[in-house]
A = this chain, B = another copy of it.
Amino acid sequence: MGGDFGPHCIVPACISCLAEYTSLHLVLVGQSSLLESLIARYPGVDRARLRIEHAGEIIAMDERPAQALRGKPDSSMRISLELLRNGAAQACVSAGNTGALMALSRYVLKTLPGIDRPAMVTAIPTQAGFCHLLDLGANVDCSAEHLYQFAVMGSVTAEALGTVRPRVALLNVGTEDIKGNQQVKLAASLLQQAEGLNYIGFVEGDGLYRGEADVVVCDGFVGNILLKSSEGLAAMIAGRIEALFKSSLAARMVGALALPLLRRLQGELAPAQHNGASFVGLQGIVVKSHGAAGPEDFKSAIRRALREIEEDLPQRLHGRLGEHLL
């Protein structure tokens, strides 16, 4: 029921994914009458693989996490997570209130042993391909130990998603040992002692986009600012170039060639919107789709969940955390 467009976006995305993945089963959690009426538009759908679970309450996009946690036992978000916890589902995908989803996920699913706080991670494009950035905003006040845990989780996630011996770096204001705030300097000394982790040291903001690391670790405040400012900057650059390409007839013809690339770039640079972001460190798979996601974006989030199910990411994380955590 979450996101700016609710089931009007999510139902078409689900119908499309069911056609694409013939072994996929989906459970839609929310107001059953609304969901039934939306599904009725697709008479060809295989209802044996599309089940509706009624939920009488909705968590609003601006609702406080604490309120969502205490006041709404029958929210679609909470019932989804309970289905996951009880084994009736293998992953939960939501476009709803991020803070509420994180709070409910921690409460219903619990974190993996050794993990204090789950983190939010997504892949962002770089000159060399992409890197996994975490945390993206779930944890705005982080200790060195939290950053250390994020590094371990990021490394295991990158490995599970196909990167061999991922290079793990801490995001910092310089690359020398003396640089950084207290938490980052302390996290560096913890990571230097960690065995089995390919820790390469500090990376700066420009180094991230040059592709100097496969996993970039920061607190959720910094990660959120970096991600959102990058989205804003990409939009600004695309807008300026678009304006230039409309300035004359010749330029307009040129623009016809260049705009598709610029639009694609802009899309790549808003990865949380287009690809979904994972909550890692929980006893279950939770993927957060952007609130403003359209059907194609929500399908990407479902695909991300499928990939994490195939790789059994939480179990894999659980197995590796014992090796790394203090």
Given A126-B236, A239-B127, A173 and B64 contact (CB-CB distance below 8 Å): no
What separation, in Å, do the CA atoms of A239 and B237 have in the docked complex? 13
Contact B244 A258 (CB under 8 A): yes
> Would you give the shortest CB distance from A280 to chain B, in whole angstroms?
19
Given A173-B221, A222-B222, A180 and B229 contact (CB-CB distance below 8 Å): no
List residues of A whose CB falls within 8 A of some B CB: 62, 64, 125-127, 137, 140-141, 171, 173, 176, 178-182, 184, 204-210, 218, 220-222, 224-237, 239-241, 244-245, 250-251, 254, 257-258, 261-262, 265, 269
> Would you give the shortest CB distance from A172 to chain B, in whole angstroms?
8
The residue in chain B whose Cβ has the minimal distance to the Cβ of A62 is B176
Instruction: Report the copy number of this chain in the oligomer.
Output: 2
Contact B141 A181 (CB under 8 A): yes
4 closest Cβ contacts across the A-B interface? A205-B228, A209-B232, A205-B229, A206-B232
17 contacts between A and B (CB under 8 A): A140-B179, A140-B180, A171-B225, A181-B221, A184-B221, A204-B224, A204-B225, A205-B224, A205-B231, A206-B231, A209-B236, A222-B225, A234-B237, A241-B261, A241-B265, A244-B258, A251-B257
What separation, in Å, do the CA atoms of A126 and B141 have in the docked complex? 28
Chain B residues with Cβ below 8 Å from A141 are 181-182
> Would you give the shortest CB distance from A262 to chain B, in whole angstroms?
7
> Would you give the shortest CB distance from A3 to chain B, in whole angstroms?
16
Contact A258 B241 (CB under 8 A): yes
What separation, in Å, do the CA atoms of A236 and B212 have in the docked complex? 13
The residue in chain B whose Cβ has the minimal distance to the Cβ of A243 is B261
The residue in chain B whose Cβ has the minimal distance to the Cβ of A127 is B236
The residue in chain B whose Cβ has the minimal distance to the Cβ of A181 is B140
Residue of A178, A180, A221, A257 with most chain B CB atoms under a 10 A cut-off: A221
The one of B126, B173, B227, B269 in contact with A205, judged by C-beta atoms closer than 8 angstroms, is B227
The residue in chain B whose Cβ has the minimal distance to the Cβ of A98 is B174
Chain B residues with Cβ below 8 Å from A209 are 229, 232-233, 235-236
> Would you give the shortest CB distance from A98 to chain B, in whole angstroms?
9
> Would you give the shortest CB distance from A236 to chain B, in whole angstroms?
5
What separation, in Å, do the CA atoms of A234 and B239 have in the docked complex? 14
What separation, in Å, do the CA atoms of A312 and B319 have in the docked complex? 63
What separation, in Å, do the CA atoms of A224 and B241 have in the docked complex? 26
- Excluding A226-B226, A226-B229, A241-B241, 10 further A-B contacts by CB distance (< 8 Å) are A173-B220, A204-B228, A205-B228, A205-B232, A206-B229, A208-B232, A210-B236, A233-B233, A244-B258, A244-B261
Given A225-B173, A225-B218, A225-B226, A232 and B210 contact (CB-CB distance below 8 Å): yes
